[in-house]
Structure 1
């Protein structure tokens, strides 16, 4: 068995870098006909930020005895934290897509991984499922937010079912479809159409669209499973509150309101193929956020702006107007160098220095000890985390390239993936340090 030091050698790293640079240049050259040389030069500058240290950092979060990934280094190193489904599923998808192993747009991103890791990871997810169909972590229990519960259910089945396995129990959405009625584990507002209408009437979407959008994005499948009538009520509500002047749900065009557009715009197609009511105006607002000089404090401000832009183009295509979508893509390409330059500057604000990227910028002074209400890392530690790294790097660029109508070049190569998997094989559990926050956090919960 090789050790970490046997794998990370100067000679190996030099050869990997040579191969990586060669393949990157080949992929960059393929972008020039559609994007232009100036735009591709800006892409090159961004990709220089993504080094092999990022893969070494990811590998360091692997817990071999459990078969999952930790949220961050402080979670790995301290008592009270364990690997979680979201970090694990996101890490698997990132490596698959960014090491040129496959496409994580599909729900099969675990398939390119070596079987020895597939088995460990799928067993980890499988054993977290409760009889109610949801997946719960021992470190958090069942008292978690609806968004945490909904997201974990989505992350978990993607680590199990693509391998030809079945979850231990029917998932809540599967149970609803089988029984024809919303199960008791669904929220109160999905127990009847009257309850849904009443709940929607109390939402503050006109002033705070992101939290509402985040909830709908995390649980949209439940509306579909509840039935077409529930979907129609939700879509009618969203459409009636979407503004004609800016295509948003709030009067101001800024990061916060466009964040709401991103969450809701991406869920629309899943609501029985619904489309945005004012995609042209929504598009203009999203692009304004991409190039905005508003201060950046966290990754989703620049990530969501690009995701919202792509969601608008996707909505146009779903309406059957691919010509309009292509017209808007052509407009983007005209100003591509500036949009990409600004995006690169914003990404750099979240760099940590060890190859990873954080969710918050250094200047914000904020850290990320909680995720969807669950305690995932120490407070006050400036560090990269799996969600933040994805949101800061691959996520905005993925949607940016989609908006331009071109394929995204992976950050890394198949050779880098082999290096990464060797590091996972060499991983040994890290002795846990005492957690000074453990008792305090328990009391607060």
Structure 2
């Protein structure tokens, strides 16, 4: 068996994990609002509503499976209205009904990115001007030195959370005119290289998976500003060591290393690529649920995904209030499921092969009619 045949067989094994996935996805759709629920237990409980992240993640799944162009016009219009209705006219921010969402800086920034991005993909725009960054930009944006002082104040004891906060400050740099942005970018590059561990290529503290997840969060900073990530050879060594030695108890622990490998575009030896795929398949299978979808965590689907990254024995600085989206049962959830679909595509990409069409995807819209 040649190398391509071997890799194709492994990828076929990944595809089999999605046999009953699209019926689950269809069941998460709320026809009235146009949004999607986080999990099955969200649909059956009046406490929970379709939310911004789950709806944007469902849209991403449809796009990754080439289903957007087949979306019925009525469903598309409902989804556009769903995101537009979430926007605050005064600030331009997008909020779900849960008031605790506003207290988590990361969730607030994610809601902006998700909502604006989803509307763009649907061929539309926010209802109101996005004046929030110009009018409500924090004081640390006033100078590169203030920016660095802000970064110095971020607790990196948990790399995942710390790097997430670091990367989110990138929003304000992107809003600056290009000439004004340059000194900020220069300071940012210097700062990040200064705090990067030269032996591992990772940032911050925590378990290997936590540090790799933090590094994954920071790659968004480099990617958005088109800056090469430093020490990618060391990052690769850390990823390989982590996959071989650590227990992936969270779908993010499977997705984040694969996402980093895809971003770094390294020449991975065939034997190591095969090993990476085999480990990923083994880990994904543990998170596949009977309802057809995938769960964030081994024991159950976390009811509040904004604090799901806290693991037993790990320190989590300034924990935000939990934003509950489900009952937290042993079930699939949208957060993990959108990651699973991305992992599948990126495994194909690492193998330099085109992803095959999944059996059920062509019937998806018939499931929700």
2:135 alignment partner, SS class: coil
For the residue of structure 1 that corresponds to 2:33, the secondary structure is coil
State the match for 1:368 in structure 2: 302
Whether 2:159 is the aligned partner of 1:209: answer yes
Structure 2 match to 1:189 = 140
1:348 to 261, 285, 307: 285
Structure-2 separation of matches of 1:112 and 1:154: 24
Between 374-383 and 118-127, report the one with greater CA deviation: 374-383
Query: Residue in 2 aligned with 1:409?
Result: 356
Measured in 2, the distance between the counterparts of 1:276 and 1:47 equals 31
Taking a change above 3 Å as real, the CA distance of residues 218 and 400 of structure 1, as seen in their structure-2 partners, is farther
Secondary structure at 1:69 match in 2:
coil
Q: State the Cα distance separating 1:43 from its structure 2 match.
A: 1.9
Q: Relative to 1, partners in 2 of residues 1:36 and 1:231: Cα closer, same or farther, differing over 3 Å?
A: same
Task: Tell me the alpha carbon deviations over residues 9-63 of structure 1, each in whole angstroms, 9 at most, x when there is no partner.
Answer: xxxxxxxxxxxxxxxxxxxxxxx98x52222222222222221x21111111111
Helix, strand or coil for the counterpart of 2:102? Answer: coil
* 2:85 aligned residue: 127
Residues 1:118 and 2:76 aligned together: yes
Q: How does 1:41-440 map to 2 (within 5 A)?
A: 41-51=9-19, 53-98=20-65, 100-101=66-67, 110-130=68-88, 131-140=90-99, 143-172=102-131, 176=133, 182-184=134-136, 186-205=137-156, 207-226=157-176, 227-228=180-181, 229-250=183-204, 254-271=208-225, 273-289=226-242, 291-313=243-265, 325=266, 328-329=267-268, 331=269, 333-362=270-299, 366-372=300-306, 373=321, 375-391=323-339, 393-410=340-357, 412-413=358-359, 416-425=360-369
| 2:245 alignment partner, SS class | coil
TM-score by length of 1: 0.72
After alignment, is 134-143 or 85-94 more displaced?
134-143
Measure the CA separation in 2 of the matches of 1:83 and 1:149.
16
Aligned to 1:292, the other structure's residue is in SS state helix
Comparing 375-384 with 144-153, greater Cα deviation is found at 375-384
Residue equivalent to 1:439: none
Query: 1:165: how far off?
Result: 3.0
Deviation, 1:285, is 1.6
User: Offset of 1:302 from its aligned partner?
Assistant: 1.5
Deviation at 1:299, TM superposition (A): 0.8
Give the match for residue 5 of structure 1: none
SS at match of 1:349: helix
Superposed CA RMSD: 2.5
Post-superposition shift, 1:195?
2.9
What is the aligned residue count? 350
User: Does the aligned pair in 2 maintain the 1:86–1:155 contact within 8 Å?
Assistant: yes
Deviations 1:415-443 (A, max 9, x none): x3442212222xxxxxxxxxxxxxxxxxx
Question: Matches of 2:143 and 2:216 in 1, distance apart?
Answer: 28
Contact 2:287–2:298 under 8 Å retained in 1? yes
Are the aligned partners of 1:71 and 1:87 in contact in 2 as well (CA < 8 Å)? yes
TM-score normalised by length of structure 2: 0.86
- Matches of 1:294 and 1:204, distance apart in 2: 24
Displacement of 1:94: 0.6
CA gap of 1:345–1:146, structure 2 versus 1, over 3 A, is: same
User: 2 CA distance for matches of 1:423 and 1:280?
Assistant: 45
Q: 1:390 to 1:164 in 2, by over 3 A?
A: closer
Call closer, same or farther: CA 1:348–1:403 in 2, change over 3 Å.
Answer: same
d(CA) in 1 for partners of 2:169, 2:365 = 33
From the superposition, tell whether residues 163 and 360 of structure 1 become closer, same or farther in structure 2 (CA, over 3 Å). closer
Q: Distance in 1 between matches of 2:30 and 2:151?
A: 42
Q: Which of the two has higher C-alpha Rg? A: 1
Shift of 1:214: 1.9
Shift of 1:144: 3.2
Report the CA distance shift for 1:170/1:419 in structure 2 as closer, same or farther (over 3 A).
same
